[in-house]
Amino acid sequence: MKKLLDRSLNPLIIYSLVVLAGSIPAYYLIIDYTWTNELDKHHSAIKTKITNRLNGLDASQVDMAENIRMLNHLEPGFHLKRVAEAEIAPDRRYSEIRFDDFMQDREQFRGLVTFITIHGQSYRLTIETNMEEVDETIGIIAAVAIFFLVLLLGGFIYLNRRTSLKLWNPFYQTIDQLQRFQLNNQAQIDFPPTQIKEFDTLQKSLQALIDRNIKSFQLQKRFTENASHELQTPLAIIKSKLDLLLQQKELTATQAQLITSATESLNRVAKINKNLLLLAKIENHQFQNPVPVDLEEEIHAAVERFEELYEYKHPEFLLAVEPAAPLMADPTLVQILLNNLIQNACKYSPPKSVIGLQLNNNDLFIKNPGQAPLIEKELYSRFGQATRPDSGNGLGLAIAHEICRYYGWPITYAYTQGSHVFHIDFTSGDTAGLE
Amino acid sequence: MKILIIEDELELLKSMEEYLSAQEYQCTKAPSFEAAMANIEECQFDCIILDIMLPDGNGLHILKHIRLYHPDEGVIIISAKNAIDDKITGLQLGADDYLAKPFHLSELSARIQSILRRRSLNQKQSIHQNDLEIDVLAKKVTIRDGELVLTKKEYELLLYMIQNKNRVISKSALAEHLSGDFADMLDNHDFVYAHIKNLKKKLNLYDYGQYLKTIYGTGYKWEL
């Protein structure tokens, strides 16, 4: 994944590279052309000047041959040679690179070979000027181009970072807000104000989307609650009718069995309904009257309850419960939490199992033997264990988890030495659920 | 014993009336707030079954009225708002008991009897069944002067069966009754069977086992 700002810079960088790379041969050609052209004009001017000056000398008074010898000897890049009429050819201009004795290096020369007439005699004139070599010119141009490219890109990146960061700041803040948003926290989202039209539109659209989500989430919660409420009465009617049906005098065994099966299923529905209602109430923050709860006392009461209920399975409770500081919570929720976890331990243990409960410093451990570790991911999901034939309604742990979440008590599960261990840390609870 | 049933769901009202009439209660039906108030003004009841959610008025007003003018009448709230905190509100306002819908009729009957017994002027607080006597205060059962030592669950079971004598009680109803508010033993009938078996074994020592009958393997009945 790339960041947005880098993304917008990339094409700019590539385009600049291409343009600057293309500019190197262009610069070279232009410079080379101008220079060559200028030298050629210079050579032509020298030719005319030398012809005129030599013709201006009085041939009878000077030794022309001696003059030309002197000129050839003194003037660098200059050579005048008498030639026969037949050797005259059109002017020739050339560029060549060769080793130069004087410079002790390879040098490029621009030259002109032309023919002039002085006092009726034909001469071949060769003029050469040292110019910069092609490769060196290209090298220098490239170096300059690269220098400016680096300067340009550095500036681009710096300016882009500076202005874009400022420009996109509302966007990044919006992302940050969205990441922290949680639907079930019932907290509204607050976007930073912006003067940019597009961001404003984005924020308004998001706000509308979130508002709709919050609304539908609340509707869904309300629906669960209302549906559960509305179901109670028809369930009560069916239950009462089945009770009455069971009292009929002429009932056969088959009929009695049918009624019993129906009653059992009905009770399951009623229980699920009741638990869904409880979950909805916790999620809707309807338990808002925390009072000090004595954990030690509640644990003993719950253990006593299940000792009686599971008498036929002869569970052995191993208690290591120390007095704890009072817990600020709704006593009903604490009882439900303890009951669900202890019942869970009783229900899924083989007969005569040892069920351990340990409370010290507000750390509660509930331990029971088990064959294989449970899948933690599915542990607290609603109806997650519904595939087990003896699973009950699959909501017990979901409710326990929801209560812990509500009060901010971390609940963890571990499988150690053949035992399922649930751990609740009551100390780290915050007051989020108690507002 | 006279009972007023205030409930706007007619079918549920009929069911309660039918079950309780067979228990030899004299039942009056009130399907609305208005009918309830009229009946309360006119007659004296031993126990009032009150649905607090009525279409034409708040049942809690009826409760306040009863407590003000008829403090001797027992009140049991039945409500679809099955939250435990609603229960506390109801009890604080002076109801004797609270029963969440949906409930088994046998549970309602047992609760009514407990209220009537608590409110009765007869301070002995005991239930007699031939030679069997249950002292509900001490939670002690004696048969012909011999004490029948029961566990807490066996005691609850026996009391429930006797409170619903001659009625067939399904295993589910017993499981629900024994579970109480918090536990969830509905899927597990083993424990009902185990407790019934132990209770019957103990009753048999006094030749009382024959009263506790198994009906088609689906339910139980205390038959006289």
The residue to which tokens 């970072």 are assigned:
A161
Residue A70 lies in a domain: yes
- DSSP strands (E only) in B59-129: 74-79, 97-100, 126-129
Q: What is the pLDDT of residue A433?
A: 42
* A389 has a pLDDT exceeding 70: no
A430 and A299 in a single domain? The answer is yes
Ranges of H-type helices in A321-408: 331-347, 376-379, 396-407
Give the pLDDT confidence of A10-34 residue by residue, as tens digits. 888 888 889 888 888 898 889 889 9
| Lowest-confidence region among B33-42, B54-63, B118-127 | B118-127
Q: Bridge-partner residues for A128, per DSSP? A: A111
B7 and B115 in a single domain? The answer is yes
ipTM of the complex model: 0.90
Residue among A230, A240, A337 with most chain B CBs within 10 A, to mutate: A240
Cα–Cα–Cα angle for A226, A228, A230, rounded to 5 degrees: 65
* 3-class DSSP state of B71: coil
Q: Is pLDDT larger for residue B35 or for residue A280?
A: B35
Q: What is the pLDDT of residue B187?
A: 63
pLDDT > 70 fraction of chain A, expressed in percent and rounded: 94
Neighbours of A10 (CB within 10 A): 10
A274 and A329 in a single domain? The answer is no
Q: Are A397 and A348 in contact (CB under 8 A)?
A: no
Q: B9–A236: do the CB atoms touch at under 8 Å? A: yes
Distance CA A247, CA A244 (A): 5
CB-based burial of residue A350 (10 Å sphere; 0-12 exposed, 13-18 middle, 19+ buried)? exposed
Distance CA A429, CA A431 (A): 7
Q: Is pLDDT larger for residue B150 or for residue A156?
A: B150
Nearest to A308 among B19, B152, B172 (CB): B152
- B19: which residues sit within 8 A by CB, 6+ positions away? A240, A243, A244, A247, B105, B108, B109, B167
Nearest CA in chain B to A334: B182
Give the pLDDT confidence of B187-208 residue by residue, as tens digits. 667 788 888 999 999 999 888 8
Q: What is the pLDDT of residue A432?
A: 43
The alpha carbon torsion through A50, A54, A55, A58 (nearest 10 deg) reads: 160
pLDDT > 90 fraction of chain B, expressed in percent and rounded: 51
B95 and B139 in a single domain? The answer is no
Q: How far is B63 from chain A (nearest CA, A)?
A: 21
Q: Which domain holds residue B191?
A: 126-222
Neighbours of A25 (CB within 10 A): 12
Distance CA A153, CA B224 (A): 103
- A375: which residues sit within 8 A by CB, 6+ positions away? none
A112 and A204 in a single domain? The answer is no
Domain end residue (candidates: A283, A313, A341): A283
Where b means 16+ CB within 10 Å and e means fewer, B54-68 reads beeeebbebbeebee
B110 and B70 in a single domain? The answer is yes
Listed by number, the residues of chain A in 301-360 with a beta carbon closer than 8 Å to a beta carbon of chain B are: 302, 305-306, 308-313, 332, 335-336, 339, 343, 347
Q: What is the pLDDT of residue A139?
A: 87
Q: Which domain holds residue A321?
A: 291-434
Q: What is the pLDDT of residue A434?
A: 43
> Half-sphere exposure of residue A350, counting CA atoms within 13 Å on the CB side?
5
* B173 has a pLDDT exceeding 50: yes
Cα–Cα–Cα angle for A321, A323, A325, rounded to 5 degrees: 130
B191 and B98 in a single domain? The answer is no
CATH of the domain at A301: 3.30.565.10
B138 and B198 in a single domain? The answer is yes
In this prediction the pTM is 0.69
Strand B26-30 relative to strand A327-329: parallel, antiparallel, unpaired? unpaired
Residue A267 lies in a domain: yes
Distance CA B10, CA B31 (A): 7
Q: What is the pLDDT of residue B39?
A: 95
Asked if B222 reaches chain A (Cβ–Cβ under 8 Å), the answer is no
CA A225 and chain centroid, separation? 39
Distance CA A148, CA A128 (A): 35
Nearest Cα to Cα of residue A191 among A41, A202, A183, B51: A202
Give the pLDDT confidence of B117-160 residue by residue, as tens digits. 888 766 567 888 888 889 888 888 998 888 999 998 899 999 99
Q: Are A397 and A379 in contact (CB under 8 A)?
A: yes
CATH of the domain at A234: 1.10.287.130
Domain end residue (candidates: A255, A283, A311): A283
Q: Are B90 and B102 in contact (CB under 8 A)?
A: no
B214 and B112 in a single domain? The answer is no
Q: What is the pLDDT of residue B16?
A: 96
Q: How many distinct structural domains can be found in chain B?
A: 2
* A381 has a pLDDT exceeding 90: no
Q: How many distinct structural domains can be found in chain A?
A: 3
Give the pLDDT confidence of A54-98 residue by residue, as tens digits. 888 877 777 888 888 888 888 888 888 888 888 888 989 998 888
Q: Are B85 and A277 in contact (CB under 8 A)?
A: no
Residue A340 lies in a domain: yes
> Half-sphere exposure of residue A191, counting CA atoms within 13 Å on the CB side?
21
Q: Are A97 and A133 in contact (CB under 8 A)?
A: yes
Which amino acid, A125? L
Give the pLDDT confidence of A178-236 residue by residue, as tens digits. 888 877 666 677 888 888 888 889 889 988 998 888 888 888 877 877 887 788 889 99
Q: What is the pLDDT of residue A387?
A: 45
Q: What is the pLDDT of residue A186?
A: 63
Q: Which chain B residues have a beta carbon less than 8 Å from that of A305?
A: 180, 182-183
Listed by number, the residues of chain B in 41-100 with a beta carbon closer than 8 Å to a beta carbon of chain A are: 80-85, 100
